[in-house]
Chain A
Amino acid sequence: MPSQHDKSITQVYWKPLEELLNPIGEKQQQLVGFDDEFNDIVDYIIRITHRIWEQKNIGLCYQYYSDICPVFTLGGYSEDVEQVVQNTLKTIAAFPDRSLIGENVIWKESNDNSYYSSHLITSIMTNTGDSEFGPATHKTGRVTTIADCVCFENKIIKEWLVRDNSFLIKQLGIDPIDAAIRFATVTPHPEFSQWFDAEYKRVLQSQHRIEINLNNEGWSPTNFVQSWVQSLFNQKQFSKLGDYYHIAASHQWPGGRQSLGVAQISGTLIQWLAQCPDAKMTVDHIAVVDFDKDTIDVAIRWSIAGQYTPHTQRLASLKGNRFFVLGASHLRINNQKIIKEATVFDEIALYANLIRESGQTLPLLEQGTKHV
């Protein structure tokens, strides 16, 4: 059976769209219960995404999502295919020209014939309709999304979806905290609170002081990722950044945080973590595939929990509230060092959750708040 390291599985990076949409060649994975047309799990993800989003066949969600399909986002929870269809329709109505450019699909095959896929997507979209962030702005923006899905018998049966909404919001000319204040007024699905509570407690219990040393001799991606999380995020040992990152690594974090090299990356991580100094981080899923001879791609789904220490006067009243992030990272690792990282989470939902949980009504900028 082909493995995660099999080169015959579709590789997205250099393939023209025409070839991705019209694949030739033989089936490379068993794909039990999937339609015969799909050669492998990457082919499945790329083509169904194109059909649903770019061709606007929203009804195909009924074909490619199971009736009960929990979808977890930091901004809300949906439970079944009906909600997936409705949410997709609402997004397309607000952003009718949304394109989904598949950047990468990192995957993992399980023994129960299910497949885990982590799909890194760049979208270009124009905000011509009202959205949960406010009235239509008629501006075009770009956003990075990572969709982690469990796929079984031709359907997505579970999904974790993260989107860099703060980056999008800034391009639309909306103040990110205003967007969070507006978004906080949306009442989430009742299941969301239960999931949030359970996840927050789970992540806080992580053993952040245990040493997880990087095993250079018996190097493995799993040990590398666990050690990366423990050393940098849980133990804040930033002098170890060079153990994990190439000295000129590129690092993309939400809201337009772009860094090159360990000095800049160090600044990004320290400044971001300072708003949750007691942050605990867990690795919730890892998938690894080959990119080329010396390079692998690693997809990580992770969570962070702690207490909020406001970084802006506008959110000062939220000090001590529950800070929780559902995030995902795609790492390209060459010769045991990260050369490229794309990390995605929804900062708008993060602040909206803090505001909603506080029960406070915070003023918008246009209501006289000083922009800080």
Chain B
Amino acid sequence: MFKQLIELYTHGDLDKIRGNILHSTAWRQHDFTSYGNSQIEKQWLKSIEQFGFNQLESSLTVSGDNYSALCFELSNKNNEGHINISLFFEHNESHIKRVNCIVDTISLAQLMNVNNEELINILPIPDPLLVSQFDHQLHPQSNHAKPKDLVSLPSEMAAAVDRWWNIWQASQLAGFDTLYEKSAHVNIAGSGAKNSYEQLRNFRIKLSNALGRSYCQLENICFDPTEKTVAVSWQIDGDYLDNGIMKRIRIPVMSFLTIEDGKISGEKFQVDWLSLSKRFQLQTPLL
């Protein structure tokens, strides 16, 4: 299915992927869920219009049993514009049931040569969301999802993913130095194509300080032992003081990790920042 999904965006090949879509398939993109062929095809055509017919620069696949994930980068002909598109999907080899698609919309705005506000205006209106207030603290006797609760990973991968999650769930910043290869290729949505793990660490610190009462929750994990790749779908909840108004926000995230010899050699941190701004009507960008 990876090929069909990529060719949808590189060649506009709707026919190939159409056969994998059910009447009851749900496709969430820009925090809006399209249901069934008619709405999903409308979403595809809108994306193709916005992305343009660009070339595939790179792709990272995570082929799991019931869930798989794909992150690919497109670049325009002059190689001046890049965009990362990430998909995490439930499937049964022949059909796709649910898709969570995250587009790096800040890169998309640059690719489209529009400013962020202009792109926000034309993004779909997000699904209604009521974010509940809850106790975010990691009390000694309360339970909070860890990677092993969702997936059984090979031991070397499991240790690395646990330590990675500890960075986010428990703010264990020292993990960056010991877990990442010095030359690890990192991509943070909205921050350009190539970042270092030090930049990711700075981003993590800034994010922690921008959000009060933050809480990280795992949604799903899939892994591919042959490719040594892991895809994690997760969320960050937190209080954000937006232009004097306190808002409880939720940030959907997708992380793609490449793990070699127990260390992270590559990571893509995917967030649709502009849809987040639209959903919570943010007056000031989070970061």
Of the candidates A13, A266, A267, the one whose C-beta lies within 8 Å of that of B97 is A13
Known: A14-B92, A99-B36, A247-B149. A260 touches B219 (CB 8 A): yes
Of B124-132, B203-211, B269-277, the segment with at least 4 beta carbons within 8 Å of chain A is B124-132
A260 lies within 8 A of B217 (CB): yes
Give the chain A neighbours of B133 by CB distance below 8 A: 267, 271
**Interface contact tally, CB-CB below 8 A:** 97
Give the chain A neighbours of B130 by CB distance below 8 A: 255-258
B95 lies within 8 A of A248 (CB): no
Interface size bucket, A side?
A: 35 or more
A142 lies within 8 A of B35 (CB): yes
Residue of B nearest to A266 (CB): B134
Nearest Cβ distance between residue A305 and chain B, in whole angstroms? 23
Of the candidates A13, A101, A264, the one whose C-beta lies within 8 Å of that of B35 is A101
Q: Cβ of B218 < 8 Å from any Cβ of A?
A: yes
Complexed CA–CA distance, A101 and B34 (Å): 12
Nearest Cβ distance between residue B130 and chain A, in whole angstroms? 5
Query: Which residues of B19-33 are within 8 A (CB) of A?
Result: 22-24, 26, 33
A124 lies within 8 A of B35 (CB): yes
Q: Cβ of B46 < 8 Å from any Cβ of A?
A: no
Complexed CA–CA distance, A266 and B144 (Å): 12
Give the chain B neighbours of A270 by CB distance below 8 A: 132, 134
Q: Cβ of A167 < 8 Å from any Cβ of B?
A: yes
Complexed CA–CA distance, A99 and B40 (Å): 14
Residue of A nearest to B37 (CB): A17
Complexed CA–CA distance, A122 and B36 (Å): 10
A142 lies within 8 A of B33 (CB): yes
Known: A17-B22, A101-B23. A268 touches B132 (CB 8 A): yes
Give the chain B neighbours of A60 by CB distance below 8 A: none
Q: Which residues of A contact B (CB under 8 A)?
A: 12-17, 20, 99, 101-103, 122, 124, 142, 167, 170-171, 239, 242, 246-248, 250, 255-264, 266-268, 270-271
Can you name 18 A-B residue pairings with CB atoms under 8 Å? A13-B97, A14-B97, A15-B22, A16-B23, A17-B23, A102-B24, A103-B24, A122-B26, A247-B144, A247-B145, A257-B130, A259-B132, A260-B235, A261-B145, A262-B143, A263-B135, A263-B136, A263-B217
